[in-house]
Structure 1
């Protein structure tokens, strides 16, 4: 069996950076540092597996049934509050994390409730390998393995966000969990950066009547109310209705945020073999005095800016309202003999209306003067139509059963935005003491411009999971896509067209022991680019490849899952600025070698003992770029991060549950105009405790940033602001 795994995986592992050295006539080979944890983990898992098999043999000698014991182990594993039995984000095969040949993480509903993760920033900041770059109060970028995350999904339906920019506050109360696949996911998404795919899995109706309502209050006049009711509406109809409302001030001067969420979903059993699901989500965000841009990081003498963490450059008249409505219909039909047909259509409408104030410039250290104001009246209307249909099932070949998925997807996105501005650029007073008043602007003074463009994508995809042996599984797949973009944005053409772009995927999983699996995977990278060269020709698409190898092991009789992965990512044809065309004055670009990223990730998730759940993850990677690429991409991305979320229910006082989360990152920096800003390494520690007064009533207390750490929310841009100090929230929850 060892011969099988070696011959199967070696072709995929040829990229491994192996170093050969000679010492006194003796040849020695060593693995690069980023791959060594996989070897160590494999050794630990092998020892653990061998020990576990020994225990099983002893149990058999004592007359216990090994089959019954195996069933009990699986039940314990699936009972962990911080893990799920299967997921579909990486493939559509419904595999467990143990069976998936990629790095995957899941933030469950229990974690969201325990640690009060009420928005996507909170969820992803606690996810292994994900960095949350809060560049503004109402705009965020997410990165993984050094690249922007541009692939997002709702229930597995992909919607691309090409610039990676998420505006507003995505409330998480409508979600059952959030699944994350790190690395490229070309099989399910077609295009995007080799960072990660974030899949937001909505709540679905339940058979039994379930009612939940809660209210919370906390620091900075924080108020939140939630309700969730689910159950049968008839013999063949189930429904669920979810609402949430939140209003709060902020540690930032003048900033306040209010949001409302409504979500409804109905399941209709049309026949015994056909299930129709209809759903609708509506969310509104309203921000008073949001920051557009943020605080300057450097004074004119090159020294770092250090001010009160409440300091804001937002005017008192600024505001930002965003609304999003989503409607979806899903049909699942059982074809019999293990085959299933599933089709989904989703419509999304997103609108924004904002009056914004941007402060720019480099202030004087002594006076605080030197910043100027720039105002904008901005509106945006964005619609998306998403359709996906696929068939999945099992087939027989060479006396074994294999899995197959064949599908077609189509999407269309229309963006229409417009911006007015005031071109007076008034000088600001000392930004360190400014109260946001005294600068009135004519936001309808002149037209700044806008965008009106349309994106279309059509894809066919297929994948098979070959069961070579009981222990060896091979995943092979490909996606063939067409892209068509037309229109312009702020005077720049967005026209581009690509046909027949093939994105292959290959993965191998070998079950070394009952509880130990080795895996390797390969994926191509493809992202269309709109930049033009000096001749006005569109640059070739951004391409590349990603390799990943790892080991996964179920520990403690299957209650814990240990995953260790090493990755190597390479880009080609990255567009970089090459100067300005002397004939037209327009900026032009040229292709470069792009960015490479190599490193490893370790994650441990599950139940250590009964009532003690844990999710811990560590990421360590290095990035490399050519001289043409902005060096700040490497500087502002932390090379090392650690995430921990753990909860424990006291056995002698089962009504009490306590927990802690830790988020740590190493030093980051940014260099602009020859001066450098350094963010020292820091950690954020959050605590929670809840107490069940009865089977239905629970009291909870959450305290965030208990060490009162002062830190920048991001160095992604040349501006930033400080994160919140210590805050506390108390809540009461009633369940039926």
Structure 2
């Protein structure tokens, strides 16, 4: 019997990457149209929930500062979400959004979202982001993207504990309710005794969402969230001659009944109708409310000769911020064009109470302080109320010229109508502010896995927080900036990794300076600029070994700036809290159910002031994690932070007082999925 020839069979290995490539993600935070990050003529990257879990970065600040070029300058007084990026620092240049919506910044404070639980990704769009988010986004904007309801039932539970009495827990669950409704609930809470005196902190939140899909082309989403944060009541440690006093690192000179508390409520309703394959209509209405209260002694000067600390700046302040808005959008596909247009409108109100002028002084022992209780000579009274009405129109187009070329253009116009009243005197003023921003970018795809781009964009920042403009600033307009950026993005074959590089230059005009002829007078006319290079990479060296890393260099300076009543020239100086170099590197090795991870973070030196007289030293922090998959549903994780117990400063409260980073700590957690 003759043998029958068998057909030829070709076997190919298809390697599944342990982590989805960032350049394959949709550019949700960087564009109104639907393009992947690989095609976008701009720099955007982030951290996924999976990366957050394996690094145990459950605070937003810890998570996002693993991304390229972003360093933290958060403090209790600014809400803890202040960052530096591309040569710009602070909440009036680095925006914070949740699902694309920002809360108006009042008195230099952003505090939400504080933790990363319940978010699928946290992304960072670098450079001017006014096209997407309006004013106050010159250096970057981070956007926390929520996990969405699913009809497939699933749950996850996180339990963790560590040194200094730290405990935390989280729960997330989703599933179907009937034939057309699905839900998602995420809750998280943590508390700690802290590593220094008066170090207790706590936080908790509840995020809830319902999704109704009455038809395949209609989706209605409702969400309601509440959050309460009580950060550590710590405003820094004494510094002598630019050196940290190590013996005082665990001391706290605040009062025993100090207050640092933030309460937030957020409600949203969003409807989307896909009228056809070419047309989608969206509308979203929301209401945010934030209540904040501080009561602290915030200034400390240490005298080594007497071993005493002089305390000053007795501050009690409260904020009531409310914002209601509506976002309407239309997405249209027309041949080779993807077009997005929309109208955003919001109304924000801010009221402030304080004990200004914040006098009061006391002296305590540096090594055995008798902290005492709050006692201020200044009355705590309503001081001001303000409101701002914003209208914004935007238009964006992605034109796919052919398989190799993509041209993207966007235009946005913002109108702000501001009003302020001094409650004690009844005096007030109104102020209109307008800003136009645009972005033009061109991407060339060399292949399905690589692309190069060039873009130019503009943006605008307020000279101070938009909800806190003072009478003395009523004559100022928005500061304007422009950026030129080029970059290259490439994915490695078989999903083995990716790398990106971006080079940029940003110039920001009309910053506040002094009149050269009358230095006592503040005017617009200053300028600052930055140029830099950012490099990111991910590589699966083998089935067991994976590396992730990034490196950023920025040369930032004031081109024109006079400061102080004498008009001292700061031209050539580096802006405060801006490091030249930052870097992150993670290595992960997996064998069977075990994974060992080692991470290193480097932040270069920074200046505490624009005069560049006080320098915060650079630092390296090493973290590690050991994970054991007990079974497919349960992972135990042992985490060590700051393994070398490095003493370092994250930000300067003043030239004699720095905020210190966390010391060495160990945590054990369990993550269960079912």
TM-score using structure 2 length: 0.89
Q: Do residues 527 (structure 1) and 465 (structure 2) align? A: no
Match in the other structure for 1:315 = 255
Match in the other structure for 2:567 = none
Instruction: Report the alpha carbon displacement of residue 519 of structure 1 after superposing the two structures with TM.
Output: 0.2
Q: 1:446/1:532 Cα in 2 relative to 1: closer, same or farther (>3 Å)?
A: closer
Q: 1:589/1:442 Cα in 2 relative to 1: closer, same or farther (>3 Å)?
A: closer
* Aligned partner of residue 663 in structure 1, secondary structure: strand
Q: What is the total number of aligned residue pairs between the two structures?
A: 649
Match in the other structure for 1:206 = 150
101, 107, 110: which one aligns with 1:166? 110
Q: Do residues 431 (structure 1) and 370 (structure 2) align? A: no
**Which whole-Å CA distance do the structure 2 matches of 1:657 and 1:220 have between them?**
26
Q: 1:514/1:671 Cα in 2 relative to 1: closer, same or farther (>3 Å)?
A: closer
Moved more, 501-510 or 608-617: 608-617
Q: Do residues 134 (structure 1) and 83 (structure 2) align? A: no
Q: 1:598/1:112 Cα in 2 relative to 1: closer, same or farther (>3 Å)?
A: same
Listed as ranges, the matches of 1:263-342 within 5 Å are 263-287=207-231, 290-291=233-234, 293-298=235-240, 305-342=245-282
Instruction: Report the alpha carbon displacement of residue 527 of structure 1 after superposing the two structures with TM.
Output: 2.7
* Aligned partner of residue 63 in structure 2, secondary structure: helix
Q: Do residues 109 (structure 1) and 52 (structure 2) align? A: no
Is contact 1:261–1:281 with CA below 8 Å preserved after alignment?
yes
Q: 1:678/1:239 Cα in 2 relative to 1: closer, same or farther (>3 Å)?
A: same
Point out where structure 1 has 5 or more consecutive residues left out of the alignment: 1-61
Q: Do residues 495 (structure 1) and 495 (structure 2) align? A: no
**Which whole-Å CA distance do the structure 2 matches of 1:417 and 1:722 have between them?**
29
* Aligned partner of residue 621 in structure 1, secondary structure: strand
Is contact 2:248–2:366 with CA below 8 Å preserved after alignment?
no
* Aligned partner of residue 239 in structure 1, secondary structure: strand
Q: 1:534/1:81 Cα in 2 relative to 1: closer, same or farther (>3 Å)?
A: closer
Match in the other structure for 2:305 = 366
Q: Do residues 97 (structure 1) and 32 (structure 2) align? A: no
Instruction: Report the alpha carbon displacement of residue 695 of structure 1 after superposing the two structures with TM.
Output: 2.1
Match in the other structure for 1:29 = none
**Which whole-Å CA distance do the structure 2 matches of 1:549 and 1:363 have between them?**
48
Is contact 2:173–2:184 with CA below 8 Å preserved after alignment?
yes
* Aligned partner of residue 336 in structure 1, secondary structure: coil
Moved more, 161-170 or 184-193: 161-170
Instruction: Report the alpha carbon displacement of residue 261 of structure 1 after superposing the two structures with TM.
Output: 1.1
**Which whole-Å CA distance do the structure 2 matches of 1:518 and 1:588 have between them?**
46
Match in the other structure for 2:3 = none
Match in the other structure for 2:590 = 649
Is contact 1:152–1:160 with CA below 8 Å preserved after alignment?
no
Q: 1:428/1:84 Cα in 2 relative to 1: closer, same or farther (>3 Å)?
A: farther
Instruction: Report the alpha carbon displacement of residue 602 of structure 1 after superposing the two structures with TM.
Output: 0.4
Match in the other structure for 1:418 = 353
**Which whole-Å CA distance do the structure 2 matches of 1:604 and 1:494 have between them?**
51
Q: Do residues 156 (structure 1) and 100 (structure 2) align? A: yes
* Aligned partner of residue 126 in structure 1, secondary structure: coil
Is contact 2:316–2:380 with CA below 8 Å preserved after alignment?
no
In the TM superposition, what whole-angstrom CA distance separates every residue of 1:658-692 from its partner, at most 9, and x where no partner exists?
Answer: 212211022334469x9944333221111111111
Q: 1:609/1:340 Cα in 2 relative to 1: closer, same or farther (>3 Å)?
A: farther
Match in the other structure for 1:221 = 165
Point out where structure 2 has 5 or more consecutive residues left out of the alignment: 1-7, 564-569
* Aligned partner of residue 132 in structure 2, secondary structure: helix
Is contact 2:106–2:350 with CA below 8 Å preserved after alignment?
no
Q: 1:580/1:204 Cα in 2 relative to 1: closer, same or farther (>3 Å)?
A: farther
Q: Do residues 628 (structure 1) and 562 (structure 2) align? A: yes
Is contact 2:509–2:526 with CA below 8 Å preserved after alignment?
yes
Is contact 2:217–2:274 with CA below 8 Å preserved after alignment?
yes
Is contact 1:579–1:589 with CA below 8 Å preserved after alignment?
no
455, 461, 465: which one aligns with 2:388? 455
**Which whole-Å CA distance do the structure 2 matches of 1:281 and 1:618 have between them?**
36
Instruction: Report the alpha carbon displacement of residue 280 of structure 1 after superposing the two structures with TM.
Output: 1.1
Is contact 2:227–2:263 with CA below 8 Å preserved after alignment?
yes
Is contact 1:563–1:603 with CA below 8 Å preserved after alignment?
yes
194, 201, 213: which one aligns with 1:257? 201
Moved more, 424-433 or 125-134: 424-433
Q: 1:451/1:509 Cα in 2 relative to 1: closer, same or farther (>3 Å)?
A: same
In terms of fraction of residues, the more helix-rich structure is: 1
In the TM superposition, what whole-angstrom CA distance separates every residue of 1:382-440 from its partner, at most 9, and x where no partner exists?
Answer: 111132121113112xxxx2211111111221111101369662321233432423x55
Instruction: Report the alpha carbon displacement of residue 357 of structure 1 after superposing the two structures with TM.
Output: 1.9
Match in the other structure for 2:419 = 486
Q: Do residues 243 (structure 1) and 181 (structure 2) align? A: no
* Aligned partner of residue 159 in structure 1, secondary structure: coil
Instruction: Report the alpha carbon displacement of residue 507 of structure 1 after superposing the two structures with TM.
Output: 0.5
Q: 1:258/1:521 Cα in 2 relative to 1: closer, same or farther (>3 Å)?
A: same
Match in the other structure for 1:541 = 478
Match in the other structure for 1:347 = 287
385, 409, 431: which one aligns with 2:324? 385
**Which whole-Å CA distance do the structure 2 matches of 1:532 and 1:325 have between them?**
25
**Which whole-Å CA distance do the structure 2 matches of 1:253 and 1:202 have between them?**
35
Q: Do residues 510 (structure 1) and 510 (structure 2) align? A: no
In the TM superposition, what whole-angstrom CA distance separates every residue of 1:31-56 from its partner, at most 9, and x where no partner exists?
Answer: xxxxxxxxxxxxxxxxxxxxxxxxxx
**Which whole-Å CA distance do the structure 1 matches of 2:504 and 2:607 have between them?**
24
119, 122, 131: which one aligns with 1:178? 122
* Aligned partner of residue 50 in structure 2, secondary structure: helix
* Aligned partner of residue 562 in structure 2, secondary structure: coil
Instruction: Report the alpha carbon displacement of residue 85 of structure 1 after superposing the two structures with TM.
Output: 2.5
**Which whole-Å CA distance do the structure 2 matches of 1:334 and 1:81 have between them?**
28
Instruction: Report the alpha carbon displacement of residue 595 of structure 1 after superposing the two structures with TM.
Output: 0.6
* Aligned partner of residue 64 in structure 2, secondary structure: helix
* Aligned partner of residue 505 in structure 2, secondary structure: strand
Q: 1:248/1:83 Cα in 2 relative to 1: closer, same or farther (>3 Å)?
A: farther
**Which whole-Å CA distance do the structure 1 matches of 2:225 and 2:389 have between them?**
24
645, 659, 663: which one aligns with 1:721? 659
Q: 1:406/1:645 Cα in 2 relative to 1: closer, same or farther (>3 Å)?
A: same
**Which whole-Å CA distance do the structure 1 matches of 2:237 and 2:515 have between them?**
29
Q: 1:611/1:269 Cα in 2 relative to 1: closer, same or farther (>3 Å)?
A: farther
Is contact 1:150–1:163 with CA below 8 Å preserved after alignment?
no
TM-score using structure 1 length: 0.82
**Which whole-Å CA distance do the structure 1 matches of 2:61 and 2:438 have between them?**
31
**Which whole-Å CA distance do the structure 1 matches of 2:662 and 2:450 have between them?**
42
**Which whole-Å CA distance do the structure 2 matches of 1:135 and 1:295 have between them?**
13
Instruction: Report the alpha carbon displacement of residue 172 of structure 1 after superposing the two structures with TM.
Output: 1.4
Q: 1:394/1:536 Cα in 2 relative to 1: closer, same or farther (>3 Å)?
A: closer
Instruction: Report the alpha carbon displacement of residue 642 of structure 1 after superposing the two structures with TM.
Output: 0.3
